[in-house]
Chain A
C-alpha cells in the first residue's frame, strides 16, 4: 500500500504538488491520471524518496522510503525508461542493480526472460528502442520481487503486442496481491487496465475512486433516441422534464430522463421508437471534461489561433 498524506512540493514559484492525499491499495491496479505537467512524476519521485516533500508524508506499506532496509526488495519503480548508461549491456545494468540489494544473479536472467530481452541481454542499451528500454525498466522494477511497484508511463513506445503484454503483466502482479501504481495520460488504456484511479490536475487531487464510480458519478446519464416523430417526441420529452439535444444522424440525446421514462412518454404520445440506448461515457471523455480547466498546456486548432 502507498499512502500519501498532504504532500506538497514547490519548485521555485511553481507548486507542482499541492496538499495531495491518496491511498493506493494492494491487490488491484491503480491508475494515476493527470494531464502533462500535473505533478504525476513529481509525486512518484516523492514516493521513491528522490524528491523531498516540502510538507506531508508518503509511506510504502507504512514506512517512509528512508526507513526501508532493502529498498529494491520492497518497492520497484520504472520512472524513466531511457535513464540508462548507453554503453552498458542490459545484463550488466541489471546485475549492478541486483548487487545493491543482495539479489541473486540468477534473478537477473529470470527478469530478462520475463520481459523478453534474454536474446539481447549482452547488447549495449544505447542501441535499444524505446520499447526495449521500457521492457528493461520493467525488468529493473521487478528485480527485487517487491510488493509495491510504480510505473511511470510504462507503455510509451511499446507496440500493440507490448501494450497487451504490459496490461496482462500489471493485472497479474496485482492478482498476486501486490500494490501497482501506474501513471498514464492514456485514459483509454487505464480504463482497460486499472480498477482504482487517482486523478490529479495542477498537483491537486481530483478523484481517488474506482474507474467505475469515476465514470458513473461524473457523467449525467444520457440516452440516445431515434424516432420517425423526433420533433413531436422532443417537445413531449422537454415537457416531461428532460433536456434534449441534437444527436448524430437526426437522433436525440436526452438527459434528465432515463430510458424507461422516455419509453413511457413515447408510448403515451403514440410515437414509434427506432432506438432507445443509454450512452456510456468513456473514461477519456470524463477525464477531459474534468480537467479541461486544469490543463497547463493547451493545444489550439489553427482556426482558433488565427481568429
Chain B
C-alpha cells in the first residue's frame, strides 16, 4: 500500500506548557459520540417517542373524557399524559449513557483513551459533560415539544382552560376537557424536570458503565434499578415498603413531573418535585464519585 519509511514531523510543541486537559477530552468525546450511528438512532427515538406518544396518549384520553367517572377525571393530568414518552426514553438514555463507556471496554479501546491523558478523571468528566449536555438539550426540547403537541390535541378536541383558581372539584365537574397552559401552576416545572430526570438517569447509566465495565451488566443494573427494584419493594410488607417507596429512582421521576397543586392520587405518597430532583441528583453524585474512584484505582 505504501513504501514510506519514516513519518514527517509535526510542528514543534512546548511539552512543558499546559497539559492535555478536560477541554481536549470534551472535544474528543464529542467526536466519538457524533461519529457512530447508534447515537443518532437513540436521539431520534427519544424525540419521536416523546412527541409521538404524547399525541397518541393525549388523543386517546381526550376521546374518553365524556365517559370518564369522577375518579378518572380527578386523575386527568394533561402534563403527565404529554410526557408518556419519558417512560420509554429513560431506557434509551440508559443504554446510550452506559454504551459510551462499555463499548470502549468491550473493544479494549478504553486503553487507547486512557493512554491519552495522565489524569483519568478527565475522561470520566468529559464523557459525563458531553453525553449529559446532548441528552439534556434533546430531552428538554422533546419535553416542551411534547407538552405543546399534547395541548394542541386537547384544544382540537374542544378542550378549554379551567378558570384561574379552579380546584380539582372544578376539573371533575367540567363539561369540557381541561387544558393546561405552560404558565399554569407547576406545569413549567414539571416539563422542565422531565428533561432533568432523563439527564440524571443518563449520568447514572454512564457511571454504572465505568463501575461495571460491561454492557450487559451496566444495562441490567440500570433496568433493575428502574423496573425490578420497585417490584421487590412491592413484595415487602406494606408497612415496611411504604416508608421508602418514595425514595426509589422511578418514583422520584414520577414525583418530578407531578403538578402537585392538582392533588392527584399520588399527592402525599411521593416527595415534592424539587425534593425528588435533589435526591435523584444525590444518587447521581454517589454513583459518579464511586465510578471516578474505581476508574483511578483499577487497572485499565
Chain A contact residues, CB within 8 Å of chain B = 45, 48-52, 65-75, 77, 79-80, 82-89, 92, 95-97, 99-104, 107, 110-111, 113-117, 135, 140, 142, 144-145, 161-162, 165, 168-169, 171-173, 175-176
> How far does the Cβ of A96 sit from chain B's closest Cβ, in whole Å?
4
* Contact pick for A71, options B27, B29, B115, B299, CB 8 Å: B115
Residues of B near A88 (CB, < 8 A) are 32, 35-36
Among the 9-residue stretches B4-12, B42-50, B80-88, the one with 4 or more Cβ atoms under 8 Å from chain A is B4-12
Complex contact A68–B118 (CB within 8 A): yes
Contact B118 A97 (CB under 8 A): no
Tell me if B183 is interfacial: C-beta within 8 Å of chain A: no
A-B Cβ contacts below 8 A, count: 146
The reply to whether B38 and A87 contact each other, CB–CB distance below 8 Å, is yes
A49-B115, A67-B118, A99-B31 given; name 19 further pairs at CB < 8 Å: A48-B111, A65-B118, A69-B18, A71-B115, A77-B115, A80-B108, A92-B35, A97-B28, A100-B27, A100-B113, A101-B20, A111-B7, A114-B4, A115-B2, A116-B1, A116-B2, A142-B7, A145-B10, A165-B3
Let me know if B6 and A169 touch, CB within 8 A. yes
* Closest residue on chain A to residue B8 by CB atoms: A110
Q: Are A66 and B118 in contact (CB-based, < 8 A)?
A: yes
In the bound assembly, the distance between CA atoms of A162 and B3 in angstroms comes to 9
Nearest opposing residue in chain A for B106, CB measure:
A85
Chain B interface residues (CB < 8 Å from chain A): 1-11, 13, 15-16, 18-20, 24-25, 27-29, 31-32, 35-38, 103-104, 107-109, 111-118, 299-300
Rounded to whole angstroms, the CA-CA distance of A74 and B117 in the bound complex is 11
* A69 engages B10 (CB within 8 Å): no
Q: What are the residues of chain B within 8 A of A77 when measuring CB–CB?
A: 115
Query: Does A87 lie within 8 Å of B31, measured CB to CB?
Result: no
* Across-interface contacts of A67 in B (CB, < 8 A): 118
CA distance A82 to B111 in the complex (A): 12
Task: Establish whether residues A135 and B31, one from each chain, have CB atoms under 8 Å apart when the complex forms.
Answer: no
Q: CB-CB < 8 A to A45: which residues of B?
A: 111, 299-300
Q: Which of A48, A52, A114 contacts B115 (CB 8 A)?
A: A48
In the complex, chain A residues whose CB is within 8 Å of the CB of B24: 99-102
Residues of B within 8 A of A171 (CB): 5
Q: Bound complex: CA of A69 vs CA of B17, how far in Å? A: 8
- Bound: A117/B2 CA distance, A: 9
Which B-chain residue is minimally distant from A143 (CB atoms)? B10
When the two chains form their complex, are residues B111 and A72 in contact, meaning their CB atoms are under 8 A apart?
Answer: no
The residue among A68, A96, A117 with the most chain B CB atoms within 10 A of its own CB is: A96
